Amino acid sequence: MIELKNLNVKFGGVVALDDISATFSAPVSGIIGPNGAGKTTTMNVISGFLASSGKISFEGEDITALTAYQRTRWGLRRSFQHEQIADDLSVRDNLRVILDGISGGASEKRADLNRALKFIDFSQRGDTLAASLNSYERRLVDIARCLVGRPKVIMFDEPCGGLTQEETTHLGDLILQIGELTGAITLVIDHDVELIKRICTQTLVIDFGKRIAFGETAKVLEDPKVQAAYLGIEEVA
């Protein structure tokens, strides 16, 4: 369970996040909202890239004081809108770099790494140089990076951006299996409402930096406020 409490972020005079609070307890939850609503800002605050007031805790453990890299070592993983894998490293080394900062025996780490490679069907291609991968393969490696090193919270920022329908379905299926594989809670930001509906049990909707709805995904998507703000359907007065 990850709890966000009263998160506030200001960029000069612009309020980017206005008192956001939510408690995610489902294996996979979503964060949706129109462009510029504050979804990525929320993710940046949770991962320690942006300072904010308020509190972030996981199972009662306060992680607000940790810096960004310390949060990764603690168990927070994230991807970016544009995948961030290093071209001059092999697929295996792109995963190993996360394990480098985490305690554990060599054999345990190797098994962890092989499990993540198997998950994305890369068991035979671990030594491939990342530069030679296509965009979907890079996205898969980016996801596998989030699975190693005993993650507690995994966040994906538009993981299906630019993918075909088939790839999106496959990636959605993989995300659904992450909880069982790692025991981590997953948060997904995406514009694809169908994907969110399919894989997220809980959803937080943000607009203009404010929480406008939070709860069970199906109910949230039926909320007139959400439909007005996000889906472009006029709110019933």
- Half-sphere exposure at residue 20, Cβ-oriented, CA atoms within 13 angstroms: 31
Q: Is 163 helix (H, G, I), strand (E, B) or coil?
A: coil
The interface mask with another protein, positions 93-132, x = CB under 8 A, is x--xxx-xxx------------------------------
Considering beta carbons, is residue 72 or 186 the nearer one to another protein? 72
Q: Does 174 bind another protein (CB under 8 A)?
A: no
Tokens 């890369």, residue? Answer: 122
Q: Is 195 helix (H, G, I), strand (E, B) or coil?
A: helix
Query: Judged by CB under 8 A, which stretch of 18-26, 68-76, 172-180, 210-218 contacts another protein?
Result: 68-76
Contact 137, 165 (CB under 8 A): no
206 - beta bridge partners?
A: 211
Q: Does 49 bind another protein (CB under 8 A)?
A: yes
Considering beta carbons, is residue 62 or 100 the nearer one to another protein? 100
Q: Is 158 helix (H, G, I), strand (E, B) or coil?
A: coil
User: What are φ and ψ of residue 207, in 5° steps?
Assistant: -145, 135
Query: Judged by CB under 8 A, which stretch of 18-26, 78-86, 173-181, 217-225 contacts another protein?
Result: 78-86
Among 5, 55, 73, 115, binds another protein (CB under 8 A): 73
Q: Does 154 bind another protein (CB under 8 A)?
A: no
Considering beta carbons, is residue 74 or 136 the nearer one to another protein? 74
Shortest Å distance, C-beta 27 to another protein: 21
- CA-to-CA distance for 115 and 18, rounded, in angstroms? 40
Considering beta carbons, is residue 122 or 230 the nearer one to another protein? 122
Q: Does 68 bind another protein (CB under 8 A)?
A: yes
**CA 9, 14, 20 angle in degrees (round to 5)?**
35
**Three-state DSSP string of 103-125:** CCCHHHHHHHHHHHHHHCCCHHH
Interacting residues toward another protein by CB under 8 A: 47-49, 68-70, 72-73, 77-80, 84-89, 93, 96-98, 100-102, 145, 149
